[in-house]
Amino acid sequence: MAIRIRAQEAARVRPVSARAPWWERNLAWLLVAPAIAMFALFAIYPTASALLFSLSRARLIRGSLERTYIGLDNFRRAFEDPLVRQSAAFTIKWSLSVTAMEVLLGLLIALLVSQLARGRGLITSLLIIPIIMPPVSVAVAWRFMYDPAFGIFNYLLNLVGLGDVYWLSDPDVATYALMAVDVWQTTPFVFLLLYAGLISLPRDPYEAAAIDGASPWFTFRTVTLPLLKPVLLVVILLRVIDSARIFDKILVMTRGGPGSQNYSMTYTIYQEFIPKFDFGYTAALSFLFQLSLVIVATIYVRRVMADYSAPAE
Amino acid sequence: MAGESRIGTLLRYAGIALVLAIVLFPVYWMINMSFKDTAEFTARPPTMIVKRPTWENYRDILISQGFDRYAWNSLLTALTAAVVAVTVGSLMAYALSRFRLPKNFNYHLLFTILTVRMFPPILSLIPLYYIYKQIGLLDTRFGLGLIHAWVEVPLVVWMMIGFFRDIPRDMEEAALVDGDTRLGVLRKIAVPLARPGLAATFILVFISSWNEFLFALILNSRNQTLPIAVAGQITQFEIRYGNLMAAGVFATVPVLILAFLTQRHLTRGLTVGGVTG
């Protein structure tokens, strides 16, 4: 995955003469300038003003923003808010479970497909469909299948003599039903990454293992898994961070329900923001959320990926 | 593996068939249901293949619910996003693949841009609402397209660096020796040669903007894009599932067509950037 700038290649283009016009001499900077401008407009400035908001009581009153400095009150309120604690716990549980299932299933499918003699291309193209579908369409398709009265799942359950399940409103079931939808949509993405990693592994260790008469399971544990580990670690990090931001499927399928059981962090922030326009509190919440993601990622990269990440060039 | 039993091979194909069935069934089911009339919709047992296909649901969403307008909003937003992201991102990618900036800036820029990919700007959302309100970009398709573009600039940079690197350097150097300017080289040689890559990247950004939900919901509630309109079909009191399924399919079809147009590069794009919700 790592793309390195090949310094010697870049240097091969000869230097521009000093008499060239200024835009020719500074072309490299001019080319990166729009990206840097966007970075300033969409990342730096909003982050700075989010920090400012989070230290203020800031509300939209008749179209204009009224802001007074209140120190850390918003953060204090966030830590005491039971809904925030609950949605933080939900998000952690969601992110870890979904990642675990997706990586396991994705690895399984990748191993399966890589052993097929024919049809790999076709299978890969079909598996791409869920990845590119609008998450909202995925959510409505599943919401209908989960419908207690008209859904296919309860029809099948009734067929084998079982009673109705209230997939999205039964507190014991709803979270898992939601997770299943995310696993359905994103496992193919994990598959794609792991499959790409798998088919680019060197062949020699496998030939050696075959000569030694190693069993498939033994080969998997001692050859495939260690070789694939760098890719696996990156995929896990990507999925933990991405899945923690779950929002659209939850909004479409249960509106965080039953009750507030399935409020993710993003959903809680949305709930606080849209009707009330409480800029201060929601900025504090998103700041805390973003910060925890950065901390998780940093610790993960330092501790878990340390041995595998290539040194910076 | 030649000596291995046929049963093993058979089991593998059975396994993959099961996976494909699970992956494809919900999509098929949504399409199937979207063509059913009310009577067939509630029929038990449900018909596995629609018996009396009807356009009723599609007519409903297009004519009485204005989905043509939502599609137009989505199209304009996604085009803005794709044009801006591909322009900004590939200029940067070209600079990073051809020039050496001082103080290891190449590496720093690439790393910073990767951070953006890792942490999409949820923190920016709330201030952006206010900034957009002040400068008049709130509830505009252009404003939404801009933020969608920004989210995908990292993907464009990472993909286009790969494509630019594949272009042989000799042609560009020859043109430089012939007295062409560097900007001229970029315009007349690099861009035309990188066209397949640019097209693939364009489509990926388009798809990602087309699918995006959170920013579209908050920053552009007046010119709703398709995902917001689809979600809007679900009200507190009743859900007209027939219309809902048609809406879901309607939002999906353009994306599927685009994906199949760019198949060759799609896998690369997805593995580099990940157009995931």
Residues ≥6 apart with Cβ < 8 Å to B211? A132, A133, A134, A135, A136, B227, B255, B275, B277
Each residue's pLDDT expressed in tens, for chain A with a length of 313 residues: 344 444 444 444 455 566 678 878 888 899 999 999 999 989 889 989 999 999 999 887 777 788 889 989 999 999 999 999 999 999 999 999 999 999 999 999 999 999 888 888 899 989 999 999 999 999 999 999 999 988 999 999 999 989 899 999 999 999 999 999 999 999 999 999 999 889 888 888 888 988 988 888 899 999 999 999 988 998 999 899 999 999 999 999 999 889 899 999 999 999 988 888 889 999 999 999 999 998 998 898 888 876 654 444 3
Residue A47 in domain: no
The whole-number pLDDT of residue A276 equals 82
Q: Which domain holds residue A271?
A: 73-309
Complex-level ipTM beyond the 0.95 threshold: no
Residue % of chain B over a pLDDT of 90: 47
What's the gap in Å between the CA of B256 and the closest CA on chain A? 7
Alpha helices, H only, A147-278? 152-159, 174-199, 204-211, 216-219, 225-243, 248-253, 265-273
The structure tokens 């800036």 sit at: B105
The whole-number pLDDT of residue A133 equals 95
Least confident of A4-13, A167-176, B87-96, B191-200: A4-13
Section B92-99 average pLDDT = 91
Residue A243 in domain: yes
Q: Is the pLDDT of residue B4 over 70?
A: no
Residues in chain B: 277
Q: Is the pLDDT of residue B90 over 70?
A: yes
| CATH number of the domain enclosing A151 | 1.10.3720.10
Residue A30 in domain: no
Q: Say if strands A56-61 and A64-69 run parallel, antiparallel, or are unpaired.
A: antiparallel
Residue A52 in domain: no
Element (H, E) at B116: helix B105-118
CA distance B183 to B191: 11
pTM, two decimals, is 0.89
What's the gap in Å between the CA of B158 and the closest CA on chain A? 8
Least confident of A136-150, B7-21, B165-179: B165-179
**3-class state of residue A57 by DSSP:** strand
CA distance B253 to A74: 44
The whole-number pLDDT of residue A18 equals 62
Q: For residue range B237-260, list pLDDT tens digits in order.
A: 777 888 999 999 999 999 999 988
Residue A78 in domain: yes
Q: For residue range B106-117, list pLDDT tens digits in order.
A: 888 888 887 777
Binned at pLDDT 50, 70 and 90, residue B71 comes out as very high
- CA-nearest residue to A144 within chain B is B241
Residue A161 in domain: yes
Nearest to B243, CA basis, from B64, B117, B116: B64
Q: Is A130's CB within 8 Å of B231's CB? A: no
Name the DSSP letter for residue B140.
Answer: -
Question: Of A3, A135, A282, which is closest to B213 when you measure between CB atoms?
Answer: A135
Query: What is the DSSP annotation of A86-132?
Result: HHHHHHHHHHHHHHHHHHHHHHHHHHHHHT-SS-HHHHHHHHHHHHH
Contacts of B7 in chain A (CB under 8 A): none
Residue A269 in domain: yes
Is the domain defined by B65-271 classed in CATH 1.10.3720.10? yes
Domain count within chain A: 1
Q: For residue range B49-69, list pLDDT tens digits in order.
A: 988 899 999 999 999 889 999
Phi, psi of A64, rounded to the nearest 5 degrees:
-115, 150
Question: Of B96, B127, B210, which is closest to A49 when you measure between CB atoms?
Answer: B127
Residue A111 in domain: yes
Least confident of A123-137, B120-134, B262-276: B262-276
The whole-number pLDDT of residue A308 equals 57
